[in-house]
Structure 1
Amino acid sequence: MSQQAGYSPSFKRPAEIMRMRRKRARSDAGVFSSPSGQGSTGSPGQSGSSPACVRPFSPGPLFNTQNRSGGGIKRRNPFANIENTYSPKKKFLIHNDDGNAEAADSYKMKKSTEGDEDVSTQCQGVLPFSARVTEVEKQEHRDISSKECVPFCEDDSLFEEEEEDVKGPLLKSPQAIAPASISPPICTEYPADWSLKTRLLFTSPLSLSWAEHPKAQEEALGLSQHCRAHFSTLPHSVQDPRSCSELRCAFRQSLVYWQHPSLPWISLFPRINAERSFTGKSTPWAQDTALQHSLMSEWAVSLSSLYSLLKARLCPYFYLCSYQFTVLFRAAGVGGSSSITALISPTTRGLREAMKAEGIEFSLPLIEERRKSREQQNLTVHQGEEEEQEEKAQECSELKEGEACRAGDEGENDGYNDDEDGSFSWLKEMGVQDKIKKPDSITIQLRKEGHAVSLDHKPESVVCVEGSHTFTLINFLINCRSVVAAAGSQAGLPPTLLAPVAFRGATMHTLKARSVNVKSRVGSTFQNISTLEITGPVLPSSLCTVATLLRSAQKGNFSAALYTHIPSAVMNTHTTKQQYTGGSVDLSGCGLHPASIQQLQQPSSLGKTALTHINMNNYSYTWKN
């Protein structure tokens, strides 16, 4: 079948097909009426003035000029003109220099003075009715384009059957033609995360092998720079990281942390639910009381030294990890607080009662936040009730009864009333008072404090201590017996102290780093991916420093999976009395990288969650929590 190149039937509308079938059923002898109302004396389905080589309504051979007879012959599609498939007068998009998209009318209807003229001679390059744009529609699109760059998109279904050689700029989506008018925001920092990490896994398309196997001189220089708090200035992008000695030294410097106590044969982090790591290990202090007193004495000296450094703003923060809770101490100006703060999680009712007995004032941030949200909801409901006071006047009696019922429910939630004997008077009337056991005073007390006990070992039990009460908390922790396990594999072992700077009795440790090259499947191909794994107690400042170094070494393209120590995830919660002071507190002498100081000064926005993924693409951060 000979066919002109560049032509394919594209205008198929179900409504038109049904209309043609109804006309064909009513026709006899293959006579059809033309769309313009003129009777056809030629071949059926073709007007007298239509040109040759016209495609029928559905795909098939081309009509010729000879007459056809017989019913059921399909009429031609009056709009399927060969010329309109590649007519330059089609509707197209004009993109001005200022970025506005303007819809232009691609066809012009010729006014016909003869009523009997064929449709094919009336219209030159006619598009289907769904693609016609009236003057009102054009004006609306111009108004939208003048306010904001909103591209006008045609109905792509009209052109879905066009051949590939016919497709051009006129048939593409305007989003693919016009440049993006709005660029995504650039985030140079990720939110401060105060949770402890047990493992970091960095991946990058560029090699990360420069981070391992340091030379002896590079490792020594990195440790020396850490002790002296000297930091190298790296360029925005390092061309050859493997030959950059400053980068490798700075990386070794970022892996250093300080710990007390230090037992080489036992891993002292994490401590919560870590009985398996202590099982089968030598614990000579478990049965030796004198050794336990010696360990606790040295631990108390180290804790006092850390608090003194914290108070002088020479140590920005430190962690105390016991077998049942974790404490985060932060200096003034860190975490958006103008005073020293301490967060303890998880806690129990017994620990909170012991802190109250020592005169330590504390708050429950998550509980208070929940209470405030409820008060806000009640206030909103109260305002709505005031607005609908007239409507609810008719239900006043029902509201009073409901308030009485609610008051009774609150009394039951709070516990038993003082006259408990009177509440069981109905049992005496029934004669079964001796068969029913009444709750004793201990049960009544537990019911009254049931809401406090229900918080134990949950994230909502996090406690915040601020200001001078943190010093009382230090003395409480030194003298409190509950910080040391009395039985089990951790019996007699003091809590672990972790800090980013040196303190009295501390031992220098470094995180373990290992680089591996792997192949990752991307679609149908495999792509080389370089990975860097860092294990150990990763402090917030170490994570920030490593991410800063990778930004320069990997040219702003890497991603990281963060494995969080779950009990410390709630450390990102807001304290109730936070007052961000900006740069009013000088932390230049705390021994951290300037980028870490700037990030850790900001209040955390993660709530009680922690970061799980960090991704940097073209020097811009995205993250998940």
Structure 2
Amino acid sequence: MSQQAGYSPSFKRPAEIMRMRRKRARSDAGVFSSPSAQGSTGSPGQSESSPACVRPFSPGPLFNTQNRSGGGTKRRNPFANLENTYSPKKKLLIYNDDGNAEAADSHKINKWTEKEGDEDMSTKTECQGVLRLSARLTEVENQERQDISSKKCLTFSEDDSLFEEEEEDVKSPLLKSPQAIAPASIAPPVCTEYPADWSLKTRLLFTSSLSLLWAEHPKAQEEALGLNQHCRAHFGTLPHSLQDPKSCSELRSAFQQSLVYWQHPSLPWISLFPRINAERNFTGKSTPWAQDAALQQNLMSEWSVSLSSLYSLLKAKLCPYFYLCSYQFTVLFRAAGLGGSNSISALISPSTRGLREAMKAEGIEFSLPLVEERRKSREPQNLTVHQGEEEEEEERKEKAQAQECSELKEGENCRAGDEGENNGFNDDEDGSFSWLKEMGVQDKIKKPDSISIQLRKEGHAVALDHKPESVVCVEGLHTFTLINFLINCKSLVAAAGSQAGLPPTLLAPVAFRGAAVHTLKARSVNVKSQVGSTYQNFSSLEITGPILPSSLHTITTLLRPAQKGNFSANLYTHTPTAVMNTHTTKEQGAGGSVDLSGCGLHPASIQQLQQPSSLGKTALTYINMNNYSYTWKN
């Protein structure tokens, strides 16, 4: 059997080992039977120094027989593998008699023992070689342990004779691999803010494992202090974490301050928000202005003064934004610097073709952001790359048009162009169909009249009515023209129905002329919710009313320290205002340079509302804060 590197130099076949065992058993029986042999320490097959190389678990540390209490001795395991016993460094490092270190290979190990000769001599040589090797390896081990005791730690396996060496981290953390440092040193990102949401909310439902009862039943002094702070635009500071929110008067006053909003007109017996599809709220209520023209005129006069006051505050940057809620649409006016725009902007949603035509007639320039965004997304698909491909495309369209027109029955209108943006007809004002004559089918096709052509051209515009894509954006000086247009617009007020004669509702976060102060309604309840197979106690806080974007942000900012950074909220959006988060057509990002410190909002709320919203035509529906980090859904 060829000798392999790393094995014992006296490795023998299993058959030879069994034969040696039988021979030693017979020798031991003869030795222990004679009195002269009782004083010997080993069998004839072993040398006198063989007990010194005894190991309890071969290969294991050497024990001296003088320290053993007695009993039979266990010989060394001949199947032991030096590679499994010691590390490669220790296996290859052996000291000579001169004290010099050299590499131990299979040839030098063979010099210490002889395979040929008598079996007893072989066993004796084996023990001597193992004793010499083990002694030197033990010396090397002790020296290495002293040198690397501060750099290494030993991890023992289930077998006490086997161990692994692990170097401790003595290098710089920068030298670690990314896989090694990722779980330990890279913390998950912490999001301290959620996107700005310009939609109006009708209801908020907060839930937390901590009690929310501190938010209701304020004391008279706390309610008065909150209203006073709101009117003076004074905002206090709260600690990062509160041990007992119910006993913190500053927190309860700040919460009452966040619930305040201003509204015109104010009718205590009628809820004036929402106004779209809200006929049920007005049914059965007293409406003395419905049949009184003089009363309607007085209401509209006061409403016009309030609207003019709001726009003046907006232009002076003393009011950040306000909403105009009519029975058909909602208008959001924002001051310069909010929403990423550097000028005053207004968003109208939803709009109709009649409203847009009336605005054009008044000289108001506006844009349809969602329509233009969709048109821009289609432009790369309509680009032509080669002139030859353009000719092929035109030829293919002519053939398709000829085939389509030839299949039409008599009396039906032929579509003269692509059914995309021009709705099936060319934009020629004279309605020319000369291409039919060129194809030779002018007698077979009945040309549509001018009225049909005009209706088909307007079909695409009418199809946008009352949809989110119909949102209209007005910017700059044209917002002033829009204010005059709204004041003089006859269709702004319903002429019939339960809302007949009632001016639109104006909502703002700050006071304005003719406005009445209102507060949102808050109610807290402790509930039990099933979590898995058990029930867990939760506290809920419900807030109802026209919830403005700044009110939502201020409330969540107060809940952060009060609930120790752990709460969730379900948000219920007034559907027509969800598209208020869409981008305007002008360049974004210039709003941060406008000073809005005097607009009456908390600095943190101003900072959030200055950023362009990333929600598009959607609104937030869920907010969750876990360990002071936000996540949300829209």
Verify the 8 A CA contact 1:317 1:331 in the aligned structure 2.
yes
Q: Deviation of residue 333 (structure 1)?
A: 1.0
| In structure 2, distance between residues paired with 1:561 and 1:511 | 16
Q: 2:558 aligns with which of 543, 549, 553?
A: 549
1:351 aligns with 2:367: no
1:401 aligns with 2:392: yes
Q: 2:365 aligns with which of 337, 340, 361?
A: 361
- Normalising by structure 1, report the TM-score: 0.68
Verify the 8 A CA contact 1:149 1:181 in the aligned structure 2.
no
- Looking at CA atoms only, which structure, 1 or 2, has the larger radius of gyration? 2
Q: Deviation of residue 148 (structure 1)?
A: 3.4
Partner of 1:11: none
Verify the 8 A CA contact 2:245 2:562 in the aligned structure 1.
yes
Partner of 1:302: 306
| In structure 1, distance between residues paired with 2:493 and 2:316 | 28
Match of 1:257, SS? strand
| In structure 1, distance between residues paired with 2:190 and 2:444 | 75
String of CA shifts for 1:190-248, please: whole Å, max 9, x gaps.
11100000000111111100000011111111111111111111111122111111111
Partner of 1:448: 457
| In structure 1, distance between residues paired with 2:357 and 2:493 | 18
Counting only pairs closer than 5 Å after superposition, residues 449-488 of structure 1 correspond to structure 2 as 449-488=458-497
String of CA shifts for 1:331-384, please: whole Å, max 9, x gaps.
0111111110000111111111110110001111111112222224445xx5xx
Counting only pairs closer than 5 Å after superposition, residues 21-170 of structure 1 correspond to structure 2 as 148-150=177-179
Counting only pairs closer than 5 Å after superposition, residues 209-288 of structure 1 correspond to structure 2 as 209-288=213-292
| In structure 1, distance between residues paired with 2:585 and 2:245 | 45
Q: 2:506 aligns with which of 482, 486, 497?
A: 497
Q: Deviation of residue 579 (structure 1)?
A: 3.5
Q: 1:519 aligns with which of 525, 528, 540?
A: 528
String of CA shifts for 1:147-189, please: whole Å, max 9, x gaps.
63326xxxxxxxxxxxxxxxxxxxxxxx9xx953321111111
Over aligned residue pairs, what C-alpha RMSD do you find? 3.8
One-letter identity of the residue aligned with 2:275: R
String of CA shifts for 1:581-620, please: whole Å, max 9, x gaps.
3542221111111111111111111111111111111111
| In structure 1, distance between residues paired with 2:391 and 2:303 | 61
Match of 1:184, SS? coil
Verify the 8 A CA contact 2:436 2:442 in the aligned structure 1.
no
| In structure 2, distance between residues paired with 1:609 and 1:365 | 14
Partner of 1:596: 605
| In structure 2, distance between residues paired with 1:374 and 1:482 | 36
String of CA shifts for 1:16-39, please: whole Å, max 9, x gaps.
xxxxxxxxxxxxxxxxxxxxxx99
Verify the 8 A CA contact 2:349 2:472 in the aligned structure 1.
yes
Partner of 1:30: none
Q: Deviation of residue 429 (structure 1)?
A: 8.4
Verify the 8 A CA contact 1:259 1:509 in the aligned structure 2.
yes
Q: Deviation of residue 449 (structure 1)?
A: 1.9
- CA gap of 1:581–1:427, structure 2 versus 1, over 3 A, is closer
One-letter identity of the residue aligned with 2:179: V
Partner of 2:581: 572
Verify the 8 A CA contact 1:254 1:542 in the aligned structure 2.
yes
Q: Deviation of residue 263 (structure 1)?
A: 1.1
| In structure 1, distance between residues paired with 2:211 and 2:487 | 47
- CA gap of 1:246–1:423, structure 2 versus 1, over 3 A, is same
One-letter identity of the residue aligned with 2:549: P
- CA gap of 1:398–1:356, structure 2 versus 1, over 3 A, is closer
| In structure 2, distance between residues paired with 1:201 and 1:88 | 67
- Normalising by structure 2, report the TM-score: 0.67
1:411 aligns with 2:399: no
Match of 2:203, SS? strand
- CA gap of 1:255–1:89, structure 2 versus 1, over 3 A, is farther
Partner of 2:326: 322
Structure 1, gaps ≥5 residues long: 1-37, 42-86, 91-109, 114-124, 128-144, 152-174, 387-395
The structure 1 segments of at least 4 consecutive aligned residues displaced by more than 6 Å after TM superposition are 38-41, 87-90, 110-113, 407-410, 421-433
Verify the 8 A CA contact 1:206 1:554 in the aligned structure 2.
yes
Q: Deviation of residue 419 (structure 1)?
A: 4.8
| In structure 1, distance between residues paired with 2:85 and 2:276 | 75
> Which range is displaced more, 210-219 or 516-525?
516-525
- CA gap of 1:374–1:223, structure 2 versus 1, over 3 A, is same
> Which range is displaced more, 210-219 or 580-589?
580-589
| In structure 2, distance between residues paired with 1:567 and 1:227 | 30
| In structure 2, distance between residues paired with 1:398 and 1:547 | 58
Match of 1:319, SS? strand
- CA gap of 1:558–1:441, structure 2 versus 1, over 3 A, is same
One-letter identity of the residue aligned with 2:478: H
1:534 aligns with 2:543: yes
| In structure 1, distance between residues paired with 2:380 and 2:433 | 39
| In structure 2, distance between residues paired with 1:446 and 1:323 | 28
String of CA shifts for 1:291-346, please: whole Å, max 9, x gaps.
11111111111000000000011100000011111100000111111110000111
- CA gap of 1:184–1:476, structure 2 versus 1, over 3 A, is same
One-letter identity of the residue aligned with 2:484: N
Question: Alignment length, in residue pairs?
Answer: 471
